[in-house]
Structure 1
Amino acid sequence: MLRRHFCSTLPTIQGQQRAEVNPWQVNEALHLKRGDSCRSIYYAVNTQFVKTLAIPERQVIGDAYLKFQLAPRVPAVIAVRSVEEATVLPVSEVTAIPNMPPCMLGLVNRRNRVIWIANLVRLLGMPVLERPRAQYSMVIVKAGSALGLMVDDIEGIVHLPAEALSPPPPQVNPILVPYLKACAVQDDQIVLVLDAEAVLQSSVFQRS
C-alpha cells in the first residue's frame, strides 16, 4: 500500500517517464516512518520535489542607474531615482527659442508640462561633433525642477555596487568633474557617474 501511494503521488515532469522508485529509500530520505498519514506523505514528497526544482533568484547588487552614451564612446550613467523619463523625441516637437545659450535646444511639451531641452555635451562644456538628427534621445532628470537632456544614445539599466565607484581618474576631462559623483569601469571603459543636481544647477542653465 505504501509503495503504491508513493508511486502514484511522486510528481512527474511533462514529457518524461517516472523513474522506478524504491519506497524504502524515499522513506529514509524524507524521514518518513510506517504509520504516517497519507497527507503527511504527500506533503513531504511534494515539498521535497519543489525544493529540488527551486531556482534561486538572481541577486541584484548595487544601485540602479540609467546608462547612456553621452557622446560616441563616452559612456555615462545617472541614478534611476533622478530620472523621470527616458525617451526618443522627434526634433520637430522641440520649439527653438532665440537668444539662448548654444546648449539649449528649446522647449517641449511633455504631458501638459513645458520643459527645457539641453544638449548635455554642450552643457558640460565638452567639444561637440554636430550631425543631422531626425530625433533626440532624451533623458528627463528631476531634482526639484526638471530638465530634458539630449544624449547620443540610451542603453538601459545597469546596477553598480558602491565599491565599484571611485573618484574621477586623471584622464577624465577636468571640466566634467564638477558634474560627477564618481566614475566606474565597465567593459574596460571609464563610465561617468553624473550628479543630476549638479547638472540642473549649472550656471549655463541658470542664465537661461
Structure 2
Amino acid sequence: MQTNSSLTAINLDPLGLNPLPPEKNLSKFLRFPLDSQNSALISLEEVAEVIKVNIVDILPIPEMPNCILGICNWRGEMLWLIDISHIINYAAPVIATPIAIVVQVNQQAVGLVVERVNDVEVHDLEQLQKVVTGLFPRSLLPFVLGVLPGDNLVLDVTAIIQSHLWQVHH
C-alpha cells in the first residue's frame, strides 16, 4: 500500500492555523493578570491544571504569611494556595471566585491563586531577555525568569515555590 508522503508531512490543524516553524524554540505560556495593569506568563509545561476554588473550601492556616491563603483538597491531596499577586507585592484585588493555577516542580504541587487566566500564548524562548533593573518592582525580581518582547514578563515557577517565605512554613 502506497502512502501519500505529502499528506503525512502536513500537520492537520483543526483551527486552520499555520504550523509553527520547527527551527524556532517556541514554547507555550499561560497569561494571567497580576493587577489591573500588569500581567505575567508562566510556562505551560509547569502547569498541571487550572481550577476554580470555592472560598469556603480554603482552610486558613494560622501564623502563615499573608501570601499563603491556606490549603484545599486537590485530587485527594493537600494543596497549598499562594496568592501570587501578594507574594510579588502587587496590590491584590479582592477575588470573588479565585482561580488556582496548579503548578508542579519536582513532584511538589502548589496552587498559584489569581483573579483569572487570560489565554495560552506561544513565544520564542530565544528572545527571552534578563530583566532590566528599575523596569519592575525590586520585590518581583527574584521570581522573574526574564522578559519577552513587548514587556511580556515570564515568572520563574521554581523560584516562587522555593521562596524563603514558602520554605520556612512548608
TM over 0.5: yes
Q: Kindly indicate whether residue 32 of structure 2 is the aligned counterpart of residue 64 of structure 1.
A: no
CA distance in 2, matches of 1:141, 1:153: 15
Higher Rg of the two aligned structures: 1
3-state SS, counterpart of residue 122 of structure 1: helix
User: Which residue of 119, 122, 130 maps to 1:159?
Assistant: 122
Kept in 1, the 8 Å contact 2:146–2:155? The answer is yes
Q: How does 1:22-171 map to 2 (within 5 A)?
A: 58-60=18-20, 62-124=26-88, 126-131=89-94, 133-144=95-106, 145-169=108-132, 170-171=134-135
Aligned-partner Cα distance in 2 for 1:195–1:127: 16
Task: Report the RMSD for the aligned CA atoms in angstroms.
Answer: 2.1
**Counterpart pick for 1:196 among 135, 157, 170:** 157
Letter in 2 for 1:160: H
Q: Larger RCO: Structure 1 or Structure 2 (Cα < 8 Å, ≥ 6 residues apart)? A: 2
Q: Distance in 2 between matches of 1:79 and 1:183?
A: 13
Task: Judge conservation of contact 1:183–1:192 (CA < 8 Å) in 2.
Answer: yes
**Contact map agreement 1:70 1:153 (CA 8 A) in 2:** no
Per-residue deviation, 1:129? 4.1
1:130-170 Cα distance to aligned partner (Å, 9 max, x none): 52x33102111110211101113201210001243211133
Consecutive unaligned residues of structure 2, counting only runs of 5 or more, are 1-11
- The TM-score with structure 1 as length reference comes to 0.66
Over 3 Å counting, the alpha-carbon distance change for 1:164 and 1:104 in structure 2 is: same
CA shift, 1:82, in A, is 0.7
Amino acid at match of 2:104: K
Of the three residues 183, 188, 199, the one matched with 2:147 is: 183
Aligned residues: 150
Gaps of 5+ in 1: 1-53
How has the CA–CA distance of structure 1 residues 129 and 64 changed in structure 2, closer, same or farther, with 3 Å as cutoff?
closer
Moved over 3 A (4+): 54-57
